[in-house]
Amino acid sequence: MLICERPARRRAFIKGMSALEGTHQLSSASLDSYAGAAPAGPTAAESARQSLRHLAVVRVTHWIFALGVIGLILSGSGILISHPRFYWGETGAVGVPALIDLPLPMIIGPSVWNRPIHFFFAWFLVLGALTYVIGGLVTRHIGKDLLPAKSDLGWRPIARVIWDHLRWKRTSADEAWTYNVVQRLTYLFVLFVLFPGIVWTGLAMSFTVASVFPFLATLIGGHQSARLFHFVFASLLLIFLIVHLAMLVLVGFRSHVRAMITGRIPQKRSTL
């Protein structure tokens, strides 16, 4: 009886060990498949790279632009009220019919001490623009962040963004912290049309500079024509500044200003 029971017990023992080993293999396979199905989270370096919004060269030149533009607008306003009339050609005076006569009081005094201030802040614009363009090309910021995709250059995407903003509605690009097509085109226009135009016409108005490089004034019609173009470019820059501030209010003024200071997208606070 005992001889018959021993093989039976041995077989039961071997069967139990095999079942236990199979269970262990199944658990190991399940863990391996689970580990493969659940990708590892981003590393600290990847998270920092993903939250980076503005490069250092963008942030530094942005505040140089801001200081320069504000200084130019304030000092330029003091120069403008000394003679708020515009002419076409080489000469213009009080007794000559004006092409544009702004309804502003004519006060000569502020123009005298505003001119050197105006030239001082012009250097902010020139040096800031040169630094931004060179840095933007080196870091590929201009090509990656400012040049719009071909698919976005149609009138429908552009009109959609403008219509959403006119209705005070955020776009998908605003939510994703990226430049929409209208922003990209506007920044390119300001950078490569407005800024060079302001600098060119400003130099053309200087009799000292124009005496050495007369083509600066003659190519655009004369000194008074240069003054007219300078006013048009400056007015467009003022409009851009107003719209820019309005859009900041729409998408979140504090968060975007903080991002332009720190360079990173502010993380949303947990409500738990």
The domain tally of the chain equals 1
Per-residue pLDDT, averaged over 100-129, amounts to 89
Tokens standing for residue 266? 């502010």
Q: Is residue 29 part of a domain?
A: no
Q: Is residue 254 part of a domain?
A: yes
Indicate whether this model's pTM tops 0.85.
no
- Residue scoring higher pLDDT (54 or 217): 217
Percent of the chain at pLDDT exceeding 70: 79
- Whichever domain contains 109, its CATH number is 1.20.950
Q: Is residue 160 part of a domain?
A: yes
Give yes or no for a contact between 118 and 72, defined as CB atoms under 8 angstroms apart: yes
Q: Is residue 137 part of a domain?
A: yes
Q: Is residue 3 part of a domain?
A: no
Residue 137 has pLDDT above 90, yes or no: yes
Host domain of residue 84: 48-262
User: Band of the pLDDT at 39, cuts 50, 70, 90?
Assistant: very low
Spatial neighbors of 214 by CB under 8 A, at least 6 apart, are none
Residue 86 belongs to what H/E stretch? strand 85-86
Q: Is residue 126 part of a domain?
A: yes
Q: Is residue 166 part of a domain?
A: yes
Q: Is residue 25 part of a domain?
A: no
d(CA 67, CA 73): 10
For the segment 50-91, what is each residue's pLDDT rounded down to a tens digit? 467 789 999 999 999 999 999 999 999 999 999 999 999 998
> What are the distances in angstroms from CA 255 to CA 57, 178, 261?
19, 14, 10
Residue 16 pLDDT: 53
